[in-house]
Chains A and B, each alone.
Chain A
Amino acid sequence: MNLWQKIKTSLATTRQGLTQKIDRIFKDRGKITQTLLDELEEVLIMADLGVSATQKIIGHLQEKIRTNEVKDSEEVKDFIKTLIAQILEKNEIEESHKWQPPHVIMVIGVNGVGKTTTIGKLAWRLKKEGKKVLLAAGDTFRAAAIDQLEIWAQKIGVDFIKHQPGADPSAVVFDAIQAGKARGYDIIIADTAGRQHTKANLMEELKKMKRVIGKVIPDAPHEVLLVLDANTGQNALSQTNLFHQNLGVTGIVLTKLDGSAKGGIIVNIADTFDIPIKYIGLGEELDNLQEFHPALFASALLTD
């Protein structure tokens, strides 16, 4: 199954919901009425796009309808698809692969979004690309989090640095980065404990981890990936805001898109922040972490 099919299958529920509803809305209707726009609003809000992003999209649509550029169901679909893709594309940046090893990636997020699983899948991807990967068990707080990452490391066949449960996570990453540098690893991925973004002291702990990494390798961590759960509603905005303010997020990973959640919140996030969406998680299997393609995502969301 190629990537396109995979995304399509995973988003099947969503896609059916959206297009069928949009089709139904426009069927047997000549004029575009307020009721019709209201129903369209419902479709977008139900996909978790949020009120402001939805109103923005509807506003643009109304403008196009007024100037007669959008006239029927098909055109509305195309227009919304293009618009969503544009919003999602806004923050995309050209990947430069010319980094100096070891390249350090720090993975952060609130509890239960799938950080450890994402690290497992990411390590697998990178290993397949021929990279020498080292994992750092930076979640020393949650019971068995270290074991969980260790099981992943064994399964994938990558190396792994850990301390005792309850140890200072900064010490773990410090050791990992030093080891990674000395033993010539290409990539070091640091796990962190899940934390509510509103807890100031826990945010300080993350900032310290970041500082410590930077002490061993001056421009590291090179990437700070924020993991968001596709089931999350508007709170994802607050999560992104606070994590970004404190740690400077360089990319977003959207997980659990294999459920029926729409993940529409990323449209809102892409609209509000200048952070690119890097990967999407489509299932529990190792190869279910995919690069994010804005146009593909928008199409899969809206076309048959």
Chain B
Amino acid sequence: MFENLANKLEGIFKKLRSRGRLSESDVNEALREIRVTLLEADVNFKVVKRFIEQVRVKAIGQDVLKSLTPGQQIIKIVRDELTMLMDPGSLKGPIKPAAFPYIIFLVGIQGSGKTTTVAKLALNFKKEGFNPLLVATDVKRPAAEEQLEILARQIGVGAFRRQGNEGPVAICQNALQRAQLNKNNPIIVDTAGRFHIDEELMAELIGLKNNINPQEVLLVADATTGQEAVNIASTFNDRLGIDGIILTKLDGDARGGAALSMKEVTGKPIRYIGIGEKLDAIEPFYPDRLTSRILGMGDILTLIEKTEAAISQEQAREVEKKIREQSFTLQDFREQLRQIKNMGPIDQLIGMIPGMSRMKGLQVEEKELVKIEAIINSMTPHERRNYAIIDGSRRRRIATGSGTSIQDVNRLLKQFAQTRKLMKKLVQPGKKTKGNFLDLFR
């Protein structure tokens, strides 16, 4: 949906370069594009404004105008500055719970993902050898307590919920007693979702904090939040005082500009990001990765991760071996296709490859993949292993069997032959290139 910033900038500068020299107004045009890109990523308007001024100063200082590749130069400045903004040398990494009682509050507005995140954090701590206790103080949303209990059971940790009609403070106090008895630490408290402008509920939360004195108050925020992110984060920080932020739902295609805004207005670090519905889908925050995302510049790291998720190490080694031994067959090819399909929509994968989005005309049709798979499915195992034996009559049969045309079958066989040739080159002895499967995509 969004055009790549890098491409836009290259376009501007290419047009201008034909004139020989770049003027300050050309840089301004580039800055305008950067501004639009950041706004489309939901970075707060005021944050963008300040940021653009910083980049302008830097860009002029570094003589971008004289550079041969001004587009690249400006992008580098933008990337560096963005990363700096999110990581002013205070990257705190994952939480290390200290001695009992180490109490962690998770707060935020409705639907930001607090309850799920409580369980994810707990699983994380459990893996590190801790014995956490989850505390349900959200007595407002129907079945919120049940949800926390179920999640606790799933990951095998304790959960505490009220027995009678106690309020959040009493629930926490009782939970602490239980934790002391059972030697639970840390204690992770789920709170009810509330809007920052809801005076009554904010006062309740402040009361809870003052009574319980948690070691960490973490704001759970949805990565898709728009301009409002600034108000949510600054109000929670000013009224309640937060120690960090957990950004959720980054497994979608949210650009996550809200993270930048929240970091900038609160000065508090982003500690974790939530990247899926599974309870282990949480990881420490890396500013540089989010920078790429905000700029919409391809996210090769995520792509690699997706590949790793879809293809096991073992499978990858197997394929590599086959390529090296030149025994890569249509059977293997089909297996690869299926794995690619498991990784999600093709056009999105392509968008993650830097530079690929430049090829706007390039449309990889999912249907095309289905067709290829159908053709391979219509071959006999023997044919899949020895594509060379597939003659005219076999081709006719395969086309009929797969509901495609002979031309389609021909095209596939030709492409496969070429791929094999390419693979052969990769593993040819004496050449520097080692048989790295990823090279095929470079």
One of A84-92, A97-105, A191-199, A208-216 at the interface: A191-199
Stretch at the interface among B80-88, B107-115, B183-191, B431-439: B107-115
A231–B222 CB distance below 8 A: yes
CB distance from A61 to the nearest CB of B (A): 18
* B40:A50 contact, CB within 8 angstroms: yes
Bound-state Cα–Cα, A201 to B136, Å: 32
Q: How far is B222's CA from A77's CA once the two chains are assembled, in angstroms?
A: 32
Is A13 in the interface zone, CB < 8 Å from B? yes
Most buried by B among A198, A261, A265: A261
Complexed CA–CA distance, A233 and B251 (Å): 16
A57 to chain B, nearest CB (A): 15
Q: Which residues of B contact A42 (CB under 8 A)?
A: 45
Nearest A residue to B345, CB-CB: A200
State whether A235 and B151 are in contact (beta carbons under 8 Å apart), knowing that A46-B227, A258-B195 are contacts in the complex.
Answer: no
Partner of B110, one of A195, A235, A256: A256
Does A142 make an interface contact (CB < 8 A)?
yes
State the CA gap A112–B340 with chains docked (Å). Answer: 29
Q: Is A82 an interface residue (CB 8 A)?
A: no
Q: A13-B197, A198-B345 are in contact. Are A235 and B142 (CB under 8 A)?
A: no
Residues in B lying within 8 Å of A, measured CB to CB: 1, 36, 39-42, 44-45, 109-113, 140-144, 146-151, 154, 195-197, 222, 224-229, 231-232, 249, 251-255, 257-258, 277, 342, 344-345, 348
Can you name 18 extra interface pairs (CB under 8 A) apart from A47-B227, A144-B147, A148-B147? A45-B45, A110-B252, A111-B277, A143-B151, A145-B147, A147-B142, A151-B142, A198-B252, A199-B344, A200-B344, A200-B345, A232-B224, A233-B224, A234-B226, A259-B109, A259-B197, A261-B228, A262-B227
- Bound Cα distance A13, B257 (Å): 23
Chain A residues near B277 (CB, 8 Å)? 111, 141, 195
Closest to A155 in B: B142
Contact status of A260 and B231, CB under 8 A, knowing A110-B252, A196-B252:
yes
A51-B40, A235-B254 are contacts. A110–B249 as well, Cβ < 8 Å? yes
Please give the distance in Å from A230's CB to the nearest CB on chain B: 8
Contacts of B344 in A (CB 8 A): 198-200
Q: A126-134, A179-187, A236-244: which lies at the B interface?
A: A236-244
CB nearest neighbor in B for A47: B227
Q: Can you list, as one digit per residue, whether each of A140-174 has a CB less than 8 Å from chain B (1) or not (0)?
A: 01111101101110010000000001000000000
Chain B residues within an 8 Å CB radius of A229: 111, 222, 224
Contacts of B232 in A (CB 8 A): 231
Q: Assign chain A's interface to a size class.
A: 35 or more
Are A235 and B252 in contact (CB-based, < 8 A)?
Answer: yes
Asked if A113 CB lies within 8 Å of chain B CBs, one says yes
* Contact between B141 and A233, CB atoms less than 8 A apart: no
Closest chain A residue to B258 by CB distance?
Answer: A233
Cα distance, A255 to B442, chains bound together (Å): 45
Q: Inside 8 A of B229's CB, which chain A residues have their CB?
A: 233
Residue of A nearest to B142 (CB): A151
Partner of A234 from the list B42, B141, B147, B148 (CB cut-off 8 Å) is: B42
Flag if A112 contacts B222 (CB, 8 Å): yes
Whether the Cβ atoms of A234 and B252 lie closer than 8 Å is no
A232 to B224, CA, bound (A): 5
A144: contacting residue among B111, B113, B143, B254, CB under 8 A: B143
Q: Given A51-B39, A152-B142, A261-B228, do A112 and B196 touch, yes or no (CB 8 Å)? A: no
Residues in chain B near residue A143, CB distance under 8 A: 146-148, 150-151, 154
Q: Given known contacts A45-B39, A198-B253, A200-B344, is B197 in contact with A260 (CB within 8 Å)?
A: yes
Q: Given A45-B39, A233-B258, do A238 and B227 touch, yes or no (CB 8 Å)?
A: no
